[in-house]
């Protein structure tokens, strides 16, 4: 039997919505309550670091809420990684840790991780679950005011891009789940895959994303319903050939 094709999966905030975490651009989303320019740019951090730290402290505390747990969609993707005979790479735009907690291992957080912080002076990167303030000393170099969330802000370079494009260039299936397709480079992954013409592409989302027409297949519905069913289909029928 020919080697099983590799699969690249991109996820966005929509996959964590049913776990109780807000998305960004839904009407009740994060950017309806706070401005990107005030909390998610390097300029915002330079201008008012406390405001930025408070924003991420609140989200870090929210993620530690015992009610926030992986949902059936996160669990289905972890099962696909375990049971699919080929490689499955999960690229997430999300900074929550729900994919890890569901058991996914081959995972790239291209926008960083809410439960990690780094020191801008010595580049130390560490797991961090407590509030962070501008006076928190770096445990490694001792200096203060350099500790920041390990989160990619607008205008900064996403993480793992070389590895991601390498896998997009060779995958047989690209799946996008729970993302509005508003933010590049993630929103451009489907064009990158279609350009090669060698992979099937599927969008699973509550509603059509900005890039829906670029996908060979679009499946609409809540992630906790459509993702487990899709994973069952792939494990049973295999990956459709690119159209
Ligand atoms: N099931 C599936 N999809 C859902 C669900 C659900 N239960 N609820 C919402 N969605 C969909 C919405 O329809 C929307 O298309 O999830 C998508 C969420 O889109 P955004 O809020 O824009 O989130 P995302 O695409 O992840 O944002 C990308 O933008 O602000 C930056 O860095 C931030 O990583 C984020 C990036």
- Asked whether residue 1 carries a pLDDT value surpassing 60, the answer given is no
CA distance 205 to 56: 26
Q: Among positive and negative, which fits the CA dihedral 107, 108, 114, 118?
A: positive
pLDDT tens, position by position, 15-34: 999 999 999 999 999 999 99
Residue 136 tokens, joined:
């928190």
- Asked whether residue 96 carries a pLDDT value surpassing 60, the answer given is yes
Q: Residue 157 Cα, ligand 1 centroid: separation in angstroms? A: 20
**Mean pLDDT to the nearest integer, 221-243:** 95
Asked if 150 is an active-site residue, the reply is no
CA distance 70 to 98: 5
| pLDDT at position 241 | 84
Question: Which residue has a Cα nearest atom 36 of ligand 1?
Answer: 183
Question: Which residue has a Cα nearest atom 15 of ligand 1?
Answer: 180
The single residue listed with the structure tokens 């060779």 is 170
* φ and ψ at residue 150, rounded to 5 degrees: -85, 65
pLDDT tens, position by position, 109-140: 999 999 999 999 999 999 999 999 989 999 99
pLDDT band at residue 107, thresholds of 50, 70 and 90? Answer: very high
**Mean pLDDT to the nearest integer, 90-106:** 98
| pLDDT at position 2 | 60
pLDDT tens, position by position, 199-213: 999 999 999 999 999
Kind and range of the H or E element at 218?
strand 217-220
Cross-sheet strand order for the sheet of 200-205? 107-109, 88-92, 7-11, 173-177, 200-205, 217-220
| pLDDT at position 43 | 98
Summary mean pLDDT of the chain: 97
pLDDT band at residue 3, thresholds of 50, 70 and 90? Answer: confident
pLDDT tens, position by position, 138-185: 999 999 999 999 999 999 999 999 999 999 999 999 999 999 999 999
- Asked whether residue 189 carries a pLDDT value surpassing 50, the answer given is yes
* Cβ atoms of 102 and 32 closer than 8 Å: no
CA distance 154 to 227: 29
Nearest atom (ligand 1) to Cα of 154: 32
The string of DSSP letters for 68-131 reads ----HHHHHHHHHHHH-SS-EEEEE---SSHHHHHT--SEEETTEEEEEEEETTT--EEE--S-
Question: Which residue has a Cα nearest atom 4 of ligand 1?
Answer: 14
pLDDT tens, position by position, 51-80: 999 999 999 999 999 999 999 999 999 999
Q: Residue 24 Cα, ligand 1 centroid: separation in angstroms? A: 6
- Pocket-testing residue among 205, 222, 228, 229, ligand 1, by greatest number of atoms within 8 A of Cβ: 205
Instruction: Tell me if residue 154 falls in helix, strand or coil.
Output: coil
**Mean pLDDT to the nearest integer, 208-233:** 98
Select which of 99, 111, 150, 200 is catalytic: 111
Q: Residue 171 Cα, ligand 1 centroid: separation in angstroms? A: 23
Beta-ladder partners of 218? 203
- Pocket-testing residue among 11, 13, 40, ligand 1, by greatest number of atoms within 8 A of Cβ: 13
Q: Residue 58 Cα, ligand 1 centroid: separation in angstroms? A: 19
| pLDDT at position 149 | 98
CA distance 243 to 223: 25
pTM exceeding 0.75: yes
């Amino acid at each position: 039997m020919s080697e099983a094709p590799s699969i690249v999966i991109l996820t966005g905030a929509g996959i964590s919505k049913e776990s109780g975490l807000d998305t960004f651009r839904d009407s009740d989303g994060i950017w309806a309550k706070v401005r990107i320019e005030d909390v998610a740019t390097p300029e915002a951090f330079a201008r008012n670091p406390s405001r930025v730290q408070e924003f991420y402290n609140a989200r870090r505390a929210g993620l530690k809420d015992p009610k926030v747990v992986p949902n059936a969609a996160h669990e289905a993707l972890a099962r696909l990684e375990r049971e699919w005979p080929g490689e499955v790479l999960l690229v997430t735009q999300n900074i929550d840790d729900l994919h890890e907690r569901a058991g996914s291992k081959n995972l790239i957080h291209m926008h960083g991780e809410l439960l990690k912080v780094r020191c801008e002076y010595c580049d130390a990167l560490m797991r961090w679950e407590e509030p962070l303030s501008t006076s928190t000393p770096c445990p490694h170099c001792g200096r203060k005011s350099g500790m920041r969330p390990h989160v990619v802000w607008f205008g900064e370079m996403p993480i793992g891009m070389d590895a991601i494009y390498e896998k997009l260039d060779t995958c047989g299936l690209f799946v996008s789940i729970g993302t509005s397709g508003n933010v590049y480079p993630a929103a451009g992954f489907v064009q990158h895959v279609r350009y090669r013409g060698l992979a099937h592409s599927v969008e699973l989302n509550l509603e059509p994303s900005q890039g829906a027409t670029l996908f060979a297949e679009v499946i609409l519905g809540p992630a906790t319903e459509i993702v487990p069913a899709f994973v069952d289909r792939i494990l049973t029928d295999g990956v459709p050939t690119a159209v």
